[in-house]
C-alpha cells in the first residue's frame, strides 16, 4: 500500500520507518528541501532496543508533491473529459505535523495534494483542527488518531523508538462518511499489522482525544511555566495545587461537552507524570527552543469549548495567556 506521511518530526519518522519496514510503500513529505533530499538519499535511521537500522523511503517536499499532484490532476481532468479515463487510486495519508504548522500555506498544499477518495489520518494534539481540515478538504475521509508511542527525533533523519505505545484512531467526529465505507481501510489496517503497530480502530475516537487533551491541558502549560520535567510537576509545591485546579476546571469543561468521566482521570494524570518523569513536555521543549507552542489548540480551544457550553474557564484562559507571553 502507498502511504504518504506529511511531516518528518518524531512521530512522522517513527511511523514512516515502521510502516516501510513492514513492507508499505512510504513517501515522506517534508517542509524543507534539505530534509527531503537527505531522507531520499539515506532513508530513516530508526533506533530501538539499542540497535539502529536504516530504512529506505521515498521523500519529497510537500510543496513539490502538491504541485505535481495539481498538475497531474489538471492533465487527468483533461484526459478524462476526452476519453473517460479513471482517476488515480485513493491514497492513505498521515498528517504528522504539529497544530502550529497548520497555517494557510500547509492547508493550501494539502488541498492540492489530496483528492476526493483519499483518506487522511490526523495525529495532532489538541482540538479545533479537525473542523478546519474538514472545511478545507471536502470529499476527503478524515480520521483522527491519538498515539502514545514514545518517539524522539535526534536528527533530520534519525528517530529513537523510546517506548511502545498504542494508536487509537477512527473517523473524525462529525466527518462525512463512515470508516466501513472506506475502500482503503483494509489495506491500511494490514500495513499497521505488518509494521507491528498496536492500533485500534474505534467509532468513538473523541473520547480518546478528550482524554489526551485533559493530560496536555494540565501537564503542558504548567511544565512550560514552571520550567520543570513532567515528573517534577506533582512534587513542586505550587505545581500540585495548580495541577489540581487546572485539572478540575478542564475536566468539568469536557464533561459539559459530553465527555464521560470515569473518576480515574486524576490518578491517570499522576501516572503519566510518573511514567514520563524524565521527559520535557512538548510545550516546555517548544518554549525552550523559542518555537510557537500548541497552547492555542490545547488550553485556548478548551476555553472556547467552555464558552460554547456556557461554563467558566478562567484558569485555561490564564494558562493560554501566560504561555503566549512566554512564546
Ligand atoms: O503528550 C505529552 C506532551 O509532552 O505533549 C505529555 C503527555 C505531556 C508527555 O510529555
| 188 lies in the same domain as 231 | no
| R_g (Cα) of the chain, nearest Å | 20
**Burial of 231 by CB count in 10 Å (0-12 exposed, 13-18 middle, 19+ buried)?**
middle
More confident residue, 244 or 81: 244
Return the pLDDT at 201: 95
The count of structural domains within the chain is 2
22 DSSP 8-state letter: T
Give the chain's mean pLDDT.
93
| 153 lies in the same domain as 222 | no
Domain that holds residue 284: 206-326
The neighbouring-strand residues paired with 59 are 28
State the ipTM, two decimals: 0.97
| 183 lies in the same domain as 80 | yes
Is the pLDDT at 80 greater than 70, yes or no? no
Closest ligand 1 atom to Cα of 219: 8
| 276 lies in the same domain as 220 | yes
- Domain end (from 203, 237, 269): 203
Contact at 8 Å (CB) between 320 and 303?
yes
Nearest-CA residue for atom 5 of ligand 1? 282
| 115 lies in the same domain as 214 | no
| 187 lies in the same domain as 322 | no
Confidence of residue 88 (pLDDT cuts 50, 70, 90): confident
| 142 lies in the same domain as 6 | yes
For residue 260, the domain's CATH number is: 1.10.1040.10
- Domain end (from 203, 229, 249): 203
Distance 125 CA to ligand 1 centre (A): 9
At 144-192, the pLDDT tens digits run 999 999 899 999 999 999 888 999 999 998 776 555 578 999 999 999 9
Return the pLDDT at 82: 64
* Pocket residues: Cβ below 6 A from ligand 1: 125, 215-216, 219-220, 230, 272, 276, 279, 281-282
| 281 lies in the same domain as 159 | no
At 6-65, the pLDDT tens digits run 999 999 999 999 999 999 999 999 999 999 999 999 999 999 988 999 999 999 999 999
Q: Which of 210, 281, 285, 294 to mutate to test the pocket of ligand 1 (most atoms within 8 A of CB)?
A: 281
Mean pLDDT confidence for 274-298: 94
Distance 219 CA to ligand 1 centre (A): 7
Confidence of residue 305 (pLDDT cuts 50, 70, 90): very high
For residue 92, the domain's CATH number is: 3.40.50.720
Q: Which of 230, 250, 275, 289 to mutate to test the pocket of ligand 1 (most atoms within 8 A of CB)?
A: 230
- Domain end (from 168, 183, 203): 203
Nearest-CA residue for atom 6 of ligand 1? 281
Predicted TM-score (pTM) of this structure = 0.92
The CA distance from 181 to 118, in Å, is: 12
Q: Which residues fall within 8 angstroms of residue 177, CB to CB, at 6 or more apart?
A: 141, 171
Amino acid at each position: 500500500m502507498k502511504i504518504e506521511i506529511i511531516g518528518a518530526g518524531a512521530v512522522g519518522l517513527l511511523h514512516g520507518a515502521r510502516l516501510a519496514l513492514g513492507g508499505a510503500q512510504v513517501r515522506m513529505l517534508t517542509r524543507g528541501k534539505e530534509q527531503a533530499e537527505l531522507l531520499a538519499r539515506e532513508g530513516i535511521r530508526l533506533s530501538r532496543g539499542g540497535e539502529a537500522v536504516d530504512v529506505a523511503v521515498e521523500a519529497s517536499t510537500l510543496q513539490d508533491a502538491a504541485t505535481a499532484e495539481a498538475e497531474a490532476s489538471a492533465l487527468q481532468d483533461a484526459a478524462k473529459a476526452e476519453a473517460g479515463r479513471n482517476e488515480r487510486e485513493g491514497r492513505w495519508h498521515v498528517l504528522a505535523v504539529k497544530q502550529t504548522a497548520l497555517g494557510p500555506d500547509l492547508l493550501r498544499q494539502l488541498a492540492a495534494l489530496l483528492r476526493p477518495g483519499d483518506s487522511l489520518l490526523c495525529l495532532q494534539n489538541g482540538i479545533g483542527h479537525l473542523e478546519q481540515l474538514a472545511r478545507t478538504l471536502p470529499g476527503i475521509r478524515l480520521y483522527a488518531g491519538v498515539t502514545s508511542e514514545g518517539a524522539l527525533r535526534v536528527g533530520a533523519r534519525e528517530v529513537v523508538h523510546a517506548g511502545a505505545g498504542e494508536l487509537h484512531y477512527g473517523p473524525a467526529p462529525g466527518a462525512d462518511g463512515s470508516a466501513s465505507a472506506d475502500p482503503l481501510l483494509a489495506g491500511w489496517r494490514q500495513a499497521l499489522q505488518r509494521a507491528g503497530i498496536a492500533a485500534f480502530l474505534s467509532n468513538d475516537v473523541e473520547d480518546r482525544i478528550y482524554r489526551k487533551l485533559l493530560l496536555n491541558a494540565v501537564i503542558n502549560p504548567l511544565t512550560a511555566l514552571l520550567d520543570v520535567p513532567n515528573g517534577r510537576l506533582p512534587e513542586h509545591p505550587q505545581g500540585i495545587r495548580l495541577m489540581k485546579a487546572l485539572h478540575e476546571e478542564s475536566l468539568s469543561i469536557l464533561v459539559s461537552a459530553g465527555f464521560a468521566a470515569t473518576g480515574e482521570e486524576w490518578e491517570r494524570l499522576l501516572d503519566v507524570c510518573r511514567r514520563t518523569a524524565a521527559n520535557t513536555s512538548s510545550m516546555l521543549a517548544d518554549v525552550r527552543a523559542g518555537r510557537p507552542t500548541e497552547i492555542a489548540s490545547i488550553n485556548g480551544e478548551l476555553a472556547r469549548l467552555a464558552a460554547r457550553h456556557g461554563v467558566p474557564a478562567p484558569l485555561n484562559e490564564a494558562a493560554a495567556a501566560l504561555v503566549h507571553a512566554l512564546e
